[in-house]
Structure 1
């Protein structure tokens, strides 16, 4: 590791953490988990994930991305080498936030939601949205980026004093569902247009995975080979220096958070969706993983973890499979060669792997 940045026979290790990792068996609320993980600097803070300490002193960058604290940790790099990789990653994260972040009022997605159209959209936005439209079709409408008005209905409902824990009224849900549906989005290289006033797009289910993949590409180009990257979701590149794979734990959705299985990962991504970690209110079991067809929180599983060859696919399909009924999973499986494995955990803590 002495030569750090430049390619050589010495393996490189970088640990990039922040923006929410669901790695290591705890599929909890992303925003809440970000503040926990970003505040704890140290090796082994994520259960089920282990890596060796040592080498030159830790170098790290701490900032924000996609509305939350973020951190990049480097082992085995001197100050100049660390600053070079920090600068590249920081610049790319900032650029992509300018496209995808709902926290930035002047971002491309914020402008689209405000005006209902976006002329000359950036290629990255077209790429992500086209892949999301395909997933909407492949999942039978279970995955839908136009769900923002429905999420807002629930968020506004539970922001009121003495909110009914049963959620918004059925009449309000039905009315809001008129604004949901990826078939109501016109996607073109010259213009993206939302066909109904009041529609809105959220890419929170995929943008973090997309950004993770872009950061991974930067690290590969820089010569890093053995890495763990946490940028909203998780990508495990290479392996430990001694040849062992990176390992992630899948935990129970019950209070004991018992580790139910451990997954070896090498050049693979892992994403977890679990509604129990993100309720709209402490007084309600309703959560943000909403079925865009019914307007209600999905209840088939406690959590769904997906292993894939790229992080955006893992991120997107963990959400899609969480919302889809169990008897529909075959409908999506063969359409994604990058999809490798899914782990379904029910609310009693029973685990099922697919394929078995």
Structure 2
């Protein structure tokens, strides 16, 4: 009897020592013009800390390569020289721009990285917007068809003198996907990585789903929806991320490629799917398309679902979320 009790006690001690050896690690840093947040579970302090550091370094690397605000970035150099001749770029940048153009085709131009041809004239921190005449003059430069590729030499050319591109609608999603891939490679099985409105989940939260909120577009202290999710991604585009108000009108960073001005039919769009890169781009495209066309796009895109908050603050769900 004593031996049975001793064996039971030993089992309990071993169970709790193993079960309590791991812990949650987390960190937040300002990178890519937004808040980068990481949470992960690790049995080892060294593994946990190194994994978080690897994520932050990857975010910094992508920012240095793809920020249009860093003069030395690969993207800035492309914007500077690609209107003159073909420019050789890294495979990573080439592939992401290629994907962006393919998505532009699929979304009938609603997602178009050449929006920056006008978009660069907006300064949301200084509450500055371009004059109507400037928009009209540059509007023809907004057209993904101006981006020409030379796949054999990994080169890109802009076939219009005023074209500029901005990967703000896809680069953060790409960075989040890369971060989760790094965590998987390091042996992490439970994690959350967020870059602004882009979140990706690795596994669940130790047997429970992650509870991910979609914020109320008009009240940062409230959630419009809270979703139980695991091993997937959620990206939200909202008119509250970068904006200013002038003469009773909100000027925000999600521009319609057709007008060069802010899109106003909705306040936020959230996309759920396995690829944060696609989630990021789709949330922008659906925002620009509006409720009807946006939902039509989602309902014909397998594996991706969405929630729209329209400009009357009404919630709309894609078909798979209400079935």
TM-score using structure 2 length: 0.81
1:280 partner SS: strand
Larger of the two Rg values belongs to structure = 2
Cα–Cα, structure 1 residues 62 and 154, in superposed 2: closer, same or farther, change >3 Å? closer
- Give the gaps of 5 or more residues in structure 2: 1-17
1:207, 1:79 → 2: CA distance? 30
Partner deviation per Cα, 1:21-48 (whole Å, 9 max, x = no partner)? xxxxxxxxxxxxxxxxxxxxxxxxxxxx
2:220, 2:181 → 1: CA distance? 37
Partner deviation per Cα, 1:127-183 (whole Å, 9 max, x = no partner)? 211111111111111111011121122339x948xx6xxx54433211111221110
State the structure with bigger RCO (CA 8 A, min sep 6), 1 or 2: 1
1:320 partner SS: helix
Task: Name the structure where strand makes up a greater proportion of residues.
Answer: 2
Aligned match of 2:290 in 325, 343, 348?
A: 325
Cα–Cα, structure 1 residues 55 and 280, in superposed 2: closer, same or farther, change >3 Å? farther
2:201, 2:276 → 1: CA distance? 10
Cα–Cα, structure 1 residues 304 and 59, in superposed 2: closer, same or farther, change >3 Å? closer
Note if contact 1:138-1:331 (Cα within 8 Å) is conserved in structure 2: no
1:82, 1:320 → 2: CA distance? 36
1:136, 1:320 → 2: CA distance? 9
Cα–Cα, structure 1 residues 285 and 93, in superposed 2: closer, same or farther, change >3 Å? closer
Cα–Cα, structure 1 residues 60 and 118, in superposed 2: closer, same or farther, change >3 Å? farther
Deviation (angstroms), 1:62: 5.8
Note if contact 1:59-1:77 (Cα within 8 Å) is conserved in structure 2: no
Aligned match of 1:351 in 310, 315, 318?
A: 315
Aligned match of 2:189 in 206, 225, 244?
A: 225
Deviates more, 1:178-187 or 1:328-337: 328-337
Note if contact 1:254-1:348 (Cα within 8 Å) is conserved in structure 2: no
RMSD (CA atoms)? 2.8
Cα–Cα, structure 1 residues 109 and 86, in superposed 2: closer, same or farther, change >3 Å? same
Question: Which residue pairs with 1:259 in the alignment?
Answer: 223
Structure 2 residue 129 is the aligned partner of structure 1 residue 188: no
Note if contact 2:193-2:199 (Cα within 8 Å) is conserved in structure 1: yes
Structure 2 residue 69 is the aligned partner of structure 1 residue 103: yes
Task: Name the structure where helix makes up a greater proportion of residues.
Answer: 2
